[in-house]
Amino acid sequence: MADPFDASLLDQATQVPYRQLLTSLHYLFPATVFLYYAICQGIAICMLQTKSAEYDHPRRRVILWLFVLCIITYFAQLVNLGVHAVITNQFPPADQDFIIGLLSNALVFGVEFVGLSDSPRPVWYPFTGSLGLALIVEPILEFLTLKVRIPAPLCFVDFVDISIVGLRYVFFLLALIVYFEGLRSSRREEGTDSERQSLLKVNGDINGHASRDSDREDQSDGQSEGSQQNGYGGTSATSDSSTDASQSPTTDHVESPWERRERQANEAMEKRLKENGNWVTYAKSFLIFFPYVWPVNQPSLQVRVVLVGLCLLAMNAINVLIPRQLGIIIDSLSHTNTRNPWTEVLIFAGLKLVASEAGLSLLRQWLWIPVEFYSFDAMSTAAYSHVLNLSSDFHDTKSSSDIMMAIQSGQSISNILESICFRALPMLIDMTVAFIYLSVTFGPYEGFITIATAAVFLYIATHMIARLKTARRGEVSAWFKEHYVRQAGIQGWSTVTCFNQVGHEEARYSEAVKDRVTKSQKVFFGYVVAYAFQFLVLLSGLLAGAFLAVYQVTHKQATPGQFIMLLTYWAQLVAPLTFFAGLGKSISRDLIHAEQLLEIMQTKPTIRNKEGAPPLHFTAGRVQFDQVSFSYDKKKEILKGIDFEATPGMTVAFVGATGAGKSTILKLLDRFYDVTKGSIKIDGQDIRDVDLFSLRAQIGIVPQSPILFDDTIMNNVRYARLTATDEEVHEACRAASIHEQITGFTDGYQTRVGERGVKLSGGELQRVAIARAILKQPAIVLLDEATSAVDTETEQKIQEALRVLCEGRTTFIVAHRLSTIMNADRIIVVRGGEIVEEGSHEELISLKDGKYAELWSKQIFVKPKDKTATETEGKPVEKGRKAPNIVNDLTPEATSSELAKVKSNPVVSTQPNEQAKSSPDNEESSAGDDSEASGHKKEV
Ligand SMILES: Nc1ncnc2c1ncn2[C@@H]1O[C@H](COP(=O)(O)OP(=O)(O)OP(=O)(O)O)[C@@H](O)[C@H]1O
């Protein structure tokens, strides 16, 4: 081969520009192809093209082989060059740029090959564009090579070289032709297919041509990978199908709660990504957190952030200076320069101190900690406040544990930023500096070795970790199974012992532990092997670099100190490389967590104050429901045209079957939801037009299942009015007939009630809730089955308490026990979301075929104070269970008088049981009570 460094050639001035161009092209060509590929892949990922790429190229495998052949040709050229060097006894070959160019091209097309083989349905333009670039540049390169060598006569080796280049050109060309031909033929077949296609899709045949696909194996790989990827983001096609799959879990794998949570979070992220259309818009949605991570109005903290940035830059400089200084010390010791070793060691010690935990690191932490805690503080407070201000529809649909986890996810956003700004960016700078510095010190070969080692390391690390994903998943579910078996055995110990199943449980647990241990070992071994491979790559890189450096030191092209510098520098690069290998995974995990918080922060409260809404001007307490309709889900109407008016001080009771919509009416009045149609007015003002706070200030509610805080009784009652004195609290409790009981507790009013009030009985809980409502002194009272959990005697006491509470106030009561509302001014019977009857007790029981009369007759036909009907009499009903719906808690005298009234209504008196059976409401409300009623009818 003609030597391009031949003096005779160099002398030719005309060759100089060509030579310079050729040299530049050797470096520029691989760099350009790589940049093009990286940018295109970046765009494809950002625009979610990689996720929606459904096109399954029928000749992908052929193209992959052509890529392999192209890469082989680069190595063939290198071998050819080596042969030439041996023949001409010029070893190592002098044509450095040429060799670097070949190696770089092999590396770049190697990276593309790996990218193509890893994605069964790739986005093609990064690959086809690279092939196109090669088709343009390769002839130019060859032309320049020949031009620079002329007029040297071409030898055999040159001919071999030209043939190899020609062959490669053919491979590049063929790859492009195969791509376009495959594209054309698959489109053609797709057209015919769609005409022939059966109406039912064959499983897995997404594009209608999987069955004839030569890359069937690849496709199945892809699908499994796609479904795996669904964990951390699969293609849209696979994610849809895998979502279906996940909805119908396979028989051999039961999804653990942890897996379900992860899967749902992933699916939510995928969905949001798809909605946003690309990663950039998606990432922009996180700007909502900007005021919490960036100290907006805190200049002192902002200065700290800038100083932290400077610290990081200084760290970058130190990372180069330390190995360099070590080299200088070695050189000064070996007298290859005139430097004083003592001074150099002192400088080294100074640099080490600055780089240590007591130096820049300490300074950085000192600067950063207030910023970090600002962010934590701002994010947690904002998330908590946002959640508290969201409306009922949100709280009714989200589980509290999910909400709490999401609030804690605020940390993930700081984690992402810290990973990128404080670790990834400085490490990237470190790597770039290392590449440049090593290239300058030891020449471009060393730079190439650094880059190639980093690329191979990252590939191996990311792929081996990804391969362990399935094994890791198996380990986690085995861990959950073990946990479950253990917990079930311990929690159900009495059952296990009673049934003599201790041995069985031991065997079950031992099996679960064995399974988990086996899986853990597999994962652990997998990690060990992965690390071994990663370090083998690093070692190979280090050895290659060290050999090159030794060669240069022995040829006086470098000093021993520089050799030491190289070894130290390499050791320093291991940490960034390992970090980068796991960066994608950690960012995607943090993103998924941050996504949960983002979803909450983007949720707007549906119940909001109108702009400039005035406070409610309460005058008397007239409440009007004007043709109110309502639906929770905007599909099924729960309330239909509810229309009534409560005059000030009136007591209105709602009765009806369970699920009829009674509690919903109360929720609408307290504006937990807004009506879908119609309006609710208080003293003539639409409740949607007044300030929400002022509305709720006028309303006191005793809910069906009151929730107390895990605090003292005193604090729980006082929660209604934080400024109330102890005496006022006592007074409210006296009015609620609970004072005596509280003072009987060991700690009196300071007794802690436990989580959600678990330490109180159902009756006590309800009375504490009534006391709380009494303390609030509301203008309008809502009682939603306020006495459902108490026995009849306690209830009579509570009735007295309620009379105190409701005195002179407009009151709405929901009750199943009709005896508790028979004195209400108006009773409204609700059925299927509609008012079917209304009037006073007397009016309603005299109605023929009346719903209320029917319910009432059922109640009083039960023998008064009957033991079977009121089993729990004398002691509060077990918490969480309602007292029986049909209870006759009237006195015998009252019962006789009511029976007389009912008997005057012939339909009701003759056929109470038949009516009960034929009524759908009764079927819903008290199916089990019918027999009870009929049974007692005879007795009465
Ligand atoms: N938050 C909610 N989201 C969706 N649907 C709901 C919600 N709350 C209640 N519902 C539905 O609305 C209907 C009416 O419920 P509501 O609680 O008003 O009935 P109710 O008459 O008070 O019943 P009960 O006497 O058992 O308390 C029911 O079918 C119920 O399933």
Ligand 1 in reach of 832 Cβ (< 6 A): no
Ligand 1 in reach of 108 Cβ (< 6 A): no
Mean pLDDT of the 55-72 span: 86
Ligand 1 in reach of 657 Cβ (< 6 A): no
- Indicate whether 282 pLDDT > 50: yes
Please give the single-letter amino acid code of residue 486.
R
Ligand 1 in reach of 659 Cβ (< 6 A): yes
Nearest CA to ligand 1 atom 26: 658
The lowest-confidence range among 212-221, 514-523, 660-669 is: 212-221
Ligand 1 in reach of 115 Cβ (< 6 A): no
Q: Which element (helix H / strand E) includes 811? A: strand 810-814
At 295 the pLDDT is: 87
At 699 the pLDDT is: 92
Nearest to 737 by CA among 703, 777, 769: 769
- Indicate whether 729 pLDDT > 90: yes
At 765 the pLDDT is: 87
At 190 the pLDDT is: 59
For residue 833, the ligand 1 atom closest to its alpha carbon is 14
pLDDT grade for 135, boundaries at 50, 70 and 90: very high
Mean pLDDT of the 633-661 span: 90
- Indicate whether 533 pLDDT > 90: no
- Indicate whether 346 pLDDT > 60: yes
Ligand 1 in reach of 672 Cβ (< 6 A): no
Ligand 1 in reach of 705 Cβ (< 6 A): no
Q: Which element (helix H / strand E) includes 108? A: helix 96-118
C-alpha angle with apex 438: 436 to 440, nearest 5 degrees?
65
At 717 the pLDDT is: 92
- Indicate whether 887 pLDDT > 50: no
Average pLDDT value over all residues in the chain? 78
Distance CA 135, CA 172 (A): 7
Instruction: Work out the number of other CB atoms within 10 angstroms of the CB of residue 628.
Output: 22
At 255 the pLDDT is: 65
Ligand 1 in reach of 422 Cβ (< 6 A): no
Distance CA 229, CA 243 (A): 12
CA of 833 to the centre of ligand 1 (A): 10
CA of 613 to the centre of ligand 1 (A): 30
pLDDT grade for 905, boundaries at 50, 70 and 90: low
SS3 for 102?
A: helix
CA of 659 to the centre of ligand 1 (A): 5
At 52 the pLDDT is: 64
Tokens 């031991």 identify what position? 506
At 350 the pLDDT is: 95
At 412-435, the pLDDT tens digits run 888 888 888 888 888 888 888 888
At 251 the pLDDT is: 44
At 462 the pLDDT is: 77
CB neighbour class for 453 (10 Å; exposed up to 12, middle 13-18, buried from 19):
buried
Take residue 24 and report the two structure tokens written for it: 């530049």
864-869: Cβ within 8 A, 24+ apart: 864/888, 864/889, 864/890, 864/891, 864/892, 864/895, 865/792, 865/889, 865/892, 866/936, 868/932, 869/932, 869/936
Q: Per residue, what are the HEC states of 1-13?
A: CCCCCCHHHHHCC
The lowest-confidence range among 173-177, 286-290, 836-840 is: 286-290
- Indicate whether 384 pLDDT > 80: yes
pLDDT grade for 827, boundaries at 50, 70 and 90: very high
pLDDT grade for 133, boundaries at 50, 70 and 90: very high
pLDDT grade for 465, boundaries at 50, 70 and 90: confident
CA of 665 to the centre of ligand 1 (A): 10
Nearest CA to ligand 1 atom 29: 659
State the number of CA atoms in the 13 A half-sphere of 5 facing the CB. 7
pLDDT grade for 246, boundaries at 50, 70 and 90: very low
Close Cβ partners of 324 (under 8 Å, ≥ 6 residues apart) = 565
Give the whole-number percent of the chain exceeding pLDDT 70: 79
CA of 357 to the centre of ligand 1 (A): 61
The lowest-confidence range among 176-190, 291-305, 684-698, 772-786 is: 176-190
Mean pLDDT of the 539-554 span: 86
Nearest to 704 by CA among 754, 770, 610: 770
- Indicate whether 230 pLDDT > 60: no
CA of 663 to the centre of ligand 1 (A): 7
Distances (CA, A) of 430 to 156, 325, 571, 801: 45, 17, 13, 75
State the number of CA atoms in the 13 A half-sphere of 777 facing the CB. 7
Strand arrangement of the beta sheet that strand 639-646 belongs to: 639-646, 623-630, 677-682, 685-686
**Predicted model pTM:** 0.67
CA of 675 to the centre of ligand 1 (A): 15
Residue 627 near residue 645, CB atoms below 8 Å = no
Instruction: Work out the number of other CB atoms within 10 angstroms of the CB of residue 595.
Output: 23
At 929 the pLDDT is: 37
Ligand 1 in reach of 632 Cβ (< 6 A): yes
Ligand 1 in reach of 663 Cβ (< 6 A): yes
CA of 380 to the centre of ligand 1 (A): 33
Nearest CA to ligand 1 atom 7: 632
CA of 644 to the centre of ligand 1 (A): 20
844-847: Cβ within 8 A, 24+ apart: 845/898, 845/901, 845/902, 845/905, 845/908, 846/901, 846/904, 846/905, 847/905
Q: Which element (helix H / strand E) includes 830? A: strand 826-831
- Indicate whether 221 pLDDT > 70: no
Angle 360-388/400-408 helices, nearest 10 degrees?
150
- Indicate whether 231 pLDDT > 60: no
pLDDT grade for 513, boundaries at 50, 70 and 90: very high
Nearest CA to ligand 1 atom 18: 661
- Report the residue among 395, 664, 830 best suited for mutation to probe ligand 1: largest number of ligand atoms under 8 A from its CB: 664
Ligand 1 in reach of 833 Cβ (< 6 A): no
pLDDT grade for 212, boundaries at 50, 70 and 90: very low
Ligand 1 in reach of 329 Cβ (< 6 A): no
Ligand 1 in reach of 792 Cβ (< 6 A): no
- Indicate whether 902 pLDDT > 70: no
pLDDT grade for 174, boundaries at 50, 70 and 90: very high
Instruction: Work out the number of other CB atoms within 10 angstroms of the CB of residue 287.
Output: 8
Mean pLDDT of the 259-264 span: 71
At 745-797, the pLDDT tens digits run 888 999 898 877 777 887 888 888 889 988 988 889 898 887 765 666 677 77
Distances (CA, A) of 90 to 5, 83, 95, 162: 12, 10, 10, 21
pLDDT grade for 265, boundaries at 50, 70 and 90: confident
Whether the ipTM is more than 0.85: the answer is yes
Please give the single-letter amino acid code of residue 832.
G
